[in-house]
Structure 1
Amino acid sequence: MTGTDVAARPDDLATPGGTAGVPIEMVGLGRDFGSVQALADVNMSVRPGEIVALLGPSGSGKSTLLRICAGLESASSGRLLFAGVDQAGIAPHQRDVSLVFQHYALYPHLSALDNLTLALRYGRRQPKKAAVARARETLDMLGIGALADRRPAQMSGGQRQRVAIGRALARQSRVVLLDEPMSGLDAKLRVELRVEIVALLRRLGSTALFVTHDQAEAMAVGDRVAVLNAGRLEQLGTPDEVYDRPATRFVATFVGSPPMNVLDGTLSGGVLSGPGFAVAAPAGATSVGVRPEGLIVSSRASASAVPAGDTDLGSGPGLGSGSGLGGGAALGGDGTAPADGILRLDGTVVVSERLGAERVIYVQTPSGPVAVRVPTDSPAQPGRSVILTASAATCAFFGPDGVLLPAQH
């Protein structure tokens, strides 16, 4: 080993924690950088062995939260506990945490095998023979056993990132922290690698926090998803809970591809009215939302009476009455009494986008563009005049603070 390698060795190494993940508790966690509040009052519990995806746009506080867990940043307020033990004042190398960076951070002069072996010998104090065996096993699990003798410069980006991930997972730490580990890879490699990462984490049983700004990745990787915005935790729930019942307007419009359509209106006499629509709404509602698959597309020729089941131009599968997103019967665009229990908007198709086995059309309405999922053979092509309808069960209502309102019954 070189002098640099020896110098990198911590003076007080953590005792190996095996493969058992530990619970993580964040209580009122905050972090200020001068006048900038990077995190504000974050409360979150992570179960042992659970994978939680930290999702949010750039600047939402995801990486800051991860760095606090790693011990690379200190919280300005609140407490962070691993297995009930407050981590304040505990050095990074004493926390039994493995960190996977966005950039590989591999030793360029060492082979893939030696990069992993070094982490085990100096991070876990394993004997050389055991460290080499564990390193080879990890490389094999990641499908790069044949690259054991190659240096980073001799590998592709995807291969280097596999080595970096393998180095972290080989240590079998009780907590694994991954900071956008696949952001520099192409789409195909991202899908392949996230499957491998989840499989390995499940096998090891480590508790894991996975930072990403890609909502599809978060929904695929996390047992639960924590959605952050401007340093605040907007929602923590399973992928289904976050998608089907977004806690806030931000979550609704951030999660989903395309995200939920949200229409703003003014509430009067129990009716939320906006450009081209009016719908019965709960007290305090200022906007109504519906997912692209919750809308039905019909020809404008049937404008006089649009039955809820009219799908002559195709429709998404809908969320079904069990989605629990809201309630209230739809009204006509003139704000009259409830007619047929559906939300209705007239518009013109402006874009038709093929997405694999389905198609998404964008319809220009008086309230702005609205995205709708339709079958690939739908005749709803650009220039077509259409009517969009949605059943009450597919609608969500948000108040002026952006928080989801309880469903009407």
Structure 2
Amino acid sequence: MTSVHLRHVCVPGSGDDQLLADVDLDVEEGTTLAVVSPSAATRAALLRAVAGLERTATGEISFGDDDVSAEDPRGRDVSVVFADHALYPHRDVLDNLTASATVRKGTDTEALAEQVEQVVEQLALSELLDLRPADLTDEQQQRVALGRALVREARLYLFEEPFAAQAERVRPHVRSVVQQWQVERGRTSLVATASVSEALAMADLIAVLHRGRVHQVGTAREVYARPSDLFVASYLGMPPMNLLPGLVHEGRVETPVGTVALSQAQIDGVGDRRTVIVGVRPEHCLDATRGGVDVSGGFDGTTRVDEVEWRGDTQLAFLGFEVEPEVDEALEAIEEFYGFDLFQHFLVVRIDAGGELEAGMSMHVVVPPEHVSLFDAQTGANLAVVD
């Protein structure tokens, strides 16, 4: 096993764009890092650069204390699961499972056989061992590719969209198998995924990239509860964080749908700014319409419910609002800066399915102060989150 360190890594894209732009990352030994980004090309470029399959324009990649920047893929000793599975088409499933492991000198064949037996059982491959990749579904091919990676001993493990082909009902099990296998053996893993929910569920650390740059690295709780900027706030979460334009006045922030009473720590963070962006997640919005909610400070507002979306165990209320044209222009400028859609003209509230909600009714919404984020209206940087 090894730690992984990237310093000022750049990978060129098309034209003047860069797939990776001055990327710094540290992954300690035995850690699973999930890489999330709206761009599949960015996610793939990072894994391919670490594996030695993508030429970097600048920067250094180290495994532990060893600079591997000039090493070819074979010299880096990395086990990779590609998004297209990359199985050997003329070999059966059993041969595909063992192929990568058996080419390494000193492989313990008895130990390998035991590991293959475990993988075959855990990934439901026992009925497929004599088949070739062309006889398998995409879902089955992906499980074979995962099994092949797991039974191989390597310095580092790279997974590109490792569960994308799995049916929704089996995906949690397959993810759990891979996660448990890696944790029990203390392996270092990088997982590139389009699924933010999977990244939050399985990774020790999450790296959030956009336009080739690292916006934030932290634990799932850190990046979710304390996003570094507006992009991270909006990208992580489904539904995404509500982002509301606000005017600062005498220790309060007035938004189109309510007011935030600022704590002293937030007042210090806001400084002399006259405008900020208020962020509250839908699940932190509490329905106080009928009372019974004791919240001091934070966000407080009452407005009309425009639409209700029932989801079985929860329901979403959409509370629309309007803003002045100059505010809209300012929000559009922020979106252009980030190259990402951040704002919507409604507040989303997620509550228990048992609550009686109807379009047209008035809803009183409160959010505890510890769940209110404030962002700079020009740079998008997080200003203050109450501890």
TM-score normalised by length of structure 2: 0.84
Among 14, 22, 28, which residue is 2:8 paired with?
28
Alignment-derived partner of residue 308 in structure 2: 352
Residues of 2 paired with 1:172 and 1:273: CA distance?
A: 57
Does the 8 Å contact 1:124/1:171 carry over to 2? Answer: no
Distance of aligned partners of 1:50 and 1:129 in 2 relative to their CA distance in 1, 3 Å threshold = closer
Alignment-derived partner of residue 288 in structure 1: 278
Does the 8 Å contact 2:370/2:386 carry over to 1? Answer: no
Shift of 1:253: 0.8
Residues of 1 paired with 2:257 and 2:307: CA distance?
A: 20
* RMSD (Å) for aligned C-alpha atoms: 2.5
Distance of aligned partners of 1:342 and 1:128 in 2 relative to their CA distance in 1, 3 Å threshold = closer
Among 371, 374, 382, which residue is 1:394 paired with?
371
- Range 104-113 or range 269-278, more displaced: 269-278
Q: Does 1:365 align with 2:343?
A: no
Does the 8 Å contact 2:371/2:385 carry over to 1? Answer: no
Distance of aligned partners of 1:145 and 1:172 in 2 relative to their CA distance in 1, 3 Å threshold = farther
SS in 2 for 1:61: helix
SS in 1 for 2:217: strand
Q: Does 1:404 align with 2:387?
A: no
Query: Identity of paired residues, percent?
Result: 32
Among 356, 374, 384, which residue is 2:361 paired with?
384
Shift of 1:205: 2.1
Deviations 1:4-56 (A, max 9, x none): xxxxxxxxxxxxxxxxx211111122222351111122221111111111011
SS in 1 for 2:150: helix
Residues of 2 paired with 1:48 and 1:130: CA distance?
A: 23
Alignment of 1:145-160 (within 5 A): 145-160=126-141
Shift of 1:407: 4.0
Distance of aligned partners of 1:36 and 1:49 in 2 relative to their CA distance in 1, 3 Å threshold = same
Alignment of 1:61-72 (within 5 A): 61-72=42-53
Among 35, 39, 62, which residue is 1:58 paired with?
39
Shift of 1:230: 1.0
Shift of 1:133: 5.2
Deviations 1:234-266 (A, max 9, x none): 111111111111111111111111121110124
Residues of 1 paired with 2:82 and 2:193: CA distance?
A: 12
Shift of 1:159: 2.0
Q: Does 1:374 align with 2:351?
A: yes
Among 150, 159, 173, which residue is 1:192 paired with?
173
TM-score normalised by length of structure 1: 0.80
Alignment-derived partner of residue 341 in structure 1: 297
Number of residue pairs the alignment of both structures matches:
355
Deviations 1:284-325 (A, max 9, x none): 4520111112212244xx8xxx78539xxxxxxxxxxxxxxx
Does the 8 Å contact 1:37/1:231 carry over to 2? Answer: yes
Distance of aligned partners of 1:127 and 1:205 in 2 relative to their CA distance in 1, 3 Å threshold = closer
Alignment of 1:271-310 (within 5 A): 271-279=252-260, 280=262, 282-283=270-271, 284=273, 286-299=276-289, 309=294
Does the 8 Å contact 2:40/2:194 carry over to 1? Answer: no
Does the 8 Å contact 1:96/1:174 carry over to 2? Answer: yes
SS in 2 for 1:405: strand
Q: Does 1:209 align with 2:165?
A: no
Residues of 1 paired with 2:310 and 2:105: CA distance?
A: 50
Distance of aligned partners of 1:193 and 1:262 in 2 relative to their CA distance in 1, 3 Å threshold = same
Does the 8 Å contact 2:199/2:206 carry over to 1? Answer: yes
Does the 8 Å contact 1:158/1:189 carry over to 2? Answer: no
SS in 2 for 1:166: helix
Bigger radius of gyration among the two: 1
Q: Which one-letter code corresponds to 1:359 in the other structure?
A: Q
Residues of 1 paired with 2:5 and 2:152: CA distance?
A: 23
Q: Does 1:250 align with 2:231?
A: yes
Shift of 1:408: 6.3
Q: Which one-letter code corresponds to 1:52 in the other structure?
A: L
SS in 2 for 1:169: helix
SS in 1 for 2:306: strand
